[in-house]
Structure 1
Amino acid sequence: MFEQLSTFPGYDQVLTGAKKLFGRIIQTGPVPKHVAIIMDGNRRYARNHKMEIREGHNIGFETMASVLELLFEAGVECATVYAFSIENFKRSAYEVEALMDMARSRLCQIRQHGELCEKYGVRLRVVGNRKLLPVDVQQIVQETEEMTKNNSRAVLYMCFPYTARDDMTQSIRNVVAESLINPEFEISESAFNHFLYTPPLDLLIRTSGTYRLSDFLLWQSVSPKCSVVFSDRLWPEFSPLHMAKILLNWSFNTYWYGHGNGFVVSAPGDSARAQKSPVRAPDSTEDDYSDSSSDAAVDVAVEEEDTFTSDEDPIKGRLYEKCCDLMKGADIKFRRSNRLDIALSTNLPVAIIFLPAADIPIFVGEGNCDLGITGLDQIQEADMLDSVEDLLDLEFGNCKLQVQIPAEGEYNSVDQLVGKKIVSSFTKLTTDYFQGIENVKSASEVTTKVKYVGGSVEASCALGVADAIVDLVESGETMKAAGLKAIDTILETSAHLISSKTPKHPELVKKIHQRFEGIMAANAYVVCTYNAPRSILKSVLPVTPGRRSATISVLERKSEEEEEWVAVSAMVPRKRIGDVMDELKKLGASDILVFELANCRV
């Protein structure tokens, strides 16, 4: 599309104006101080368009100039581009010479004209192992740097030739040399950072659908504040508009969540493959300016602005799917990566943390999370019932915590289990229960031996590990299959919405609580409307009383002699709607309609 647009008259003027406009828009929010780009895809672009490799690199250079102009318009203070890897010297002599010729030509252009550097006050610094460059290129580099040395508005680092390994090696050499000269010099991380070619990163972008860093700024990119974005576009196809989208996304996430990643995404407008696989397919070929066999992974720690917990592991959690459905119905939008236990809402300042159910009451009770969804059994097992606010019974995940014994065993009552071996994953509730059975004052006096088992509790009796078990039962089929039967119920449990007693964001807690109440009401009720003569109102209103009361509207009469009719509308429990409609019809109502509730506030 952009190639076609570029053929229109006045395109360059429009593009320049657009970059200025986007630059001003981006400056209204947070702006990354240091942006680095791996400009990958020039050779593939050339092959796809049946042109010389040299021409692909030339077009890539023009793209670089255009994108850099947007960065400096937006207020970026430091930009770094991967122009040439030390590993690129292994390429064909023809291509290496072509790249050196292009470097000579472009650096001479900057030296002779330098409009971009002069306009934005950009100082050019060519970093890397410059001794590997031809002597004449070294001279041109030195002269170009000299020409821009007084510019102080921004810095453009051109990595040429460069690898992160070489960068870190030279930094270590300098640190060691300094420590030998100065006995008081402290070898530290900050000292190591000082001698690196470039400062820490805020945003790193790689094009062409390659999901690795190729030995580029490996140390700088592990900064906790660094965001990494992979774009599927080949570098010559990467326009200032694509860069503007990435900058706006970074700015939005930084403003709302305090970190440029915000949530795990690929570049706006690109495919989601970046979320699935960080490693490129083995049969693919590298064709950027920079090439290396080194891979690097960046771990991003997201500091959430507000915390909200869901329930359990996605495979084992009995409440997980219901929790996700509930949040979807409450319009809490989020995207979760398969490998992360945290997801950030895209429309609310909320972080959803996926934890084992047993941990949630502790996180909420100790004030680490504002809200949580977990079972009542987990709240009581963690002894957190007095430490949290039990806001709402969500009425799903219904189970019973029961004492189960072998169906053909020697025991028939709970009293016979006193002093015996009991296995459970709910050791506190089990101990408290037998404390009551034994009628002793403290749990330490209980003679019944309660042992913890995390999974497959129902197999414990058959294996001789226990005389009885205490476990959650939904339908009871699993216990029957294991040859067990229930003799007592300790607790009936379901999922509950809980909050901290001192939430950091009480207004947001209240909002989410109201949304959940609305979703539950919408699931439990339907709206029933019907017409009825006013004379039978006293009979039909008790059938449809509504949550508070029914809504009654007078219908227009066709004549004065006609009996007055009214329209009645009321919320009716979903499970009773069939009987309600039959009763209304029997009493003389007509035009009975039922409407689903997508959502509501009650």
Structure 2
Amino acid sequence: MSLLQYALWFRDNAIDRVQRVLLGILKAGPIPHHVAFIMDGNRRYARDKGVQVIQGHTDGFVALRRILGICSALDIKVVSVYAFSIDNFKRPQDEVDGLMNLAEKSLLELCSYGGVLAEHGVRLNTLGRTQLFPPAVQEALAKAKELTKNNNRAVLNMCMPYSSRDEITTAVEETVHDALVEGRIEPITEKDIEDRLLTAKVKTAPLDILIRTSGVKRLSDYLLWQCTENTQIHFIDTYWPDIGLFDLLPIILDYQRKVWSQ
């Protein structure tokens, strides 16, 4: 082993030890049950690196694996990610095609034997209009869900193709339809609509924390209904492909401080 290789090995092992210590400290306090991410910044990351856009999305997938490992180590039971917006179909066709190819490959890599979902016992849910995807991606989604259906340690909600307005509109339509079929005369309530949201259909816990990367400060039509007065919303400057434990550390600590102060 060369001196450089030894130095890199020592650095990586030191970082790993520090992270294990930090995870242990965080786990001593209250841990959020449900954390959601808007995975933003892949394209700007690629531009800054001088690489093709699809490489930014590929590195973003690596970041997703890393974040899932951290969340599993913290015993966070539900992670939701904004993987693909319905509006993303309006992007340049070559980028959309690249994303579809990446999705097909990455889904099976996540869920297959030895993949991060299998390793951590995570069940995959998909929330959105998956029928808009090409057949190959739909098949990959179905296979991925089948591979993880018996995992019961945690849940990953992949919102794709998704928009909150579409979710809420569909829930209202279903509420009205069901009321007409049942001949109900009582007023439609907030709970009637909430029970028909996509998150309710997969029995997802209330949203504790929503994190958006890349410094942009907007929700971009993601989980608008679910962001209640109890949801902590954090906007961080880090691009999604660069996200790691040190980005999550102050967010979890802030969550714990607020829980303890209640």
TM over 0.5: yes
The equivalent of 1:23 in structure 2 is 23
Q: Does 1:210 align with 2:211?
A: no
Q: Does 1:45 align with 2:45?
A: yes
Q: How does 1:66-85 map to 2 (within 5 A)?
A: 66-85=66-85
2:225 is the alignment partner of 1:219: yes
> Is residue 239 from structure 1 mapped to residue 240 from structure 2 by the alignment?
no
Tell whether the 8 Å contact from 1:22 to 1:74 is kept in structure 2 after alignment.
no
Q: State the Cα deviation string for residues 45-98 of structure 1 (Å, max 9, x = none).
A: 111110111111111111111112111211211111111111111110100011
Contact 2:109 2:115 in 1 (8 A): no
- Which residue of the partner structure matches residue 174 of structure 1? 174
Deviation at 1:177, TM superposition (A): 2.9
* Preserved CA contact (<8 Å) 2:111 2:118: no
Question: Structure 1 88/14 Cα, relative in aligned 2: closer, same or farther at 3 Å?
Answer: farther
1:327-406 to structure 2, matched below 5 A, reads none
The alignment of Structure 1 onto Structure 2 pairs a total of residues equal to 250
One-letter code aligned to 2:191: S
Tell me what 1:527 maps to: none
8 Å CA contact 1:20–1:73 kept in 2: the answer is no
Matched to 1:243, the amino acid is: L
- AA in 2 matched with 1:226: T
1:19-418 matched pairs, under 5 angstroms: 19-183=19-183, 187-198=188-199, 199=204, 200-221=206-227, 223-256=228-261, 258=262
For residues 196 and 15 of structure 2, the distance between their equivalents in structure 1, rounded to whole angstroms, comes to 38
1:19–1:67 CA distance, 2 compared to 1 (3 A): farther
* Aligned-pair CA distance for 1:114: 4.8
Letter in 1 for 2:81: V
Partner secondary structure for residue 9 of structure 2: coil
User: Which has the larger helix fraction?
Assistant: 2
Structure 1 length-normalised TM: 0.40
Q: Is the 8 A contact 2:112 2:147 kept in 1?
A: no
Offset, 1:195: 1.7
Alpha-carbon distance in structure 1 between the residues aligned to 2:81 and 2:256: 21
CA contact (8 A) 1:132 1:161 kept: yes
Q: Equivalent residues in 2 for 1:515-530 (5 A)?
A: none
Quick one: distance in 1 between partners of 2:13 and 2:64?
A: 18
How far apart are 1:119 and its partner, in Å? 3.0
Measured in 2, the distance between the counterparts of 1:107 and 1:22 equals 30
SS of the residue corresponding to residue 54 of structure 2 reads helix
Q: Kindly indicate whether the alpha-carbon contact (under 8 Å) linking 2:167 and 2:197 is maintained by their aligned counterparts in 1.
A: yes
Identity of aligned residues (%): 38
Higher Cα radius of gyration: 1
- What is the root-mean-square deviation of aligned Cα atoms in Å? 2.1
Q: Which is richer in strand?
A: 1
Residues 372-393 of structure 1 show CA distances to partners (whole Å, capped at 9, x for unaligned) of xxxxxxxxxxxxxxxxxxxxxx
Q: CA deviation at 1:125?
A: 0.6
Q: Distance in 2 between matches of 1:164 and 1:197?
A: 10
| Structure 2 residues not aligned, in runs of 5+ | 1-6
Gaps spanning 5+ residues in structure 1: where? 1-6, 259-602
Q: CA deviation at 1:165?
A: 0.8
In 2, are the aligned partners of 1:35 and 1:80 still within 8 Å (CA)? yes
- Alpha-carbon contact 1:206-1:230 (below 8 Å) kept: yes
Separation (CA, whole Å) in 1 of partners of 2:46 and 2:190: 42
Asked if structure 2 preserves the Cα contact closer than 8 Å seen for 1:208 and 1:235, the reply is yes
Q: CA deviation at 1:229?
A: 0.6
1:185 CA displacement: 9.5
Instruction: Name the SS for the 1:156 alignment partner.
Output: strand
State the secondary structure of the residue aligned to 1:51: coil
Structure 1 residues 412-431: Cα deviation after superposition (integer angstroms, max 9, x where no partner): xxxxxxxxxxxxxxxxxxxx
* Contact 2:38 2:212 survives alignment (8 Å): yes
CA distance in 1, matches of 2:148, 2:24: 25
Task: Say if 1:29 and 1:255, in contact at 8 Å, map to a contact too.
Answer: no
TM-superposed deviation, 1:184: 5.9
The equivalent residue for 1:594 is none
Q: Secondary structure at the match of 1:162?
A: coil
Letter in 1 for 2:217: Y
Quote the Cα distance in structure 1 between the aligned partners of 2:150 and 2:185: 30
Deviation at residue 18 of structure 1 after TM alignment: 4.7
* Greater RCO (Cα-Cα under 8 Å, separation 6 or more): 2
**Closer, same or farther: CA 130–226 of 1 in aligned 2, 3 Å:** same
The 1-side partners of 2:69 and 2:98 are apart by: 25
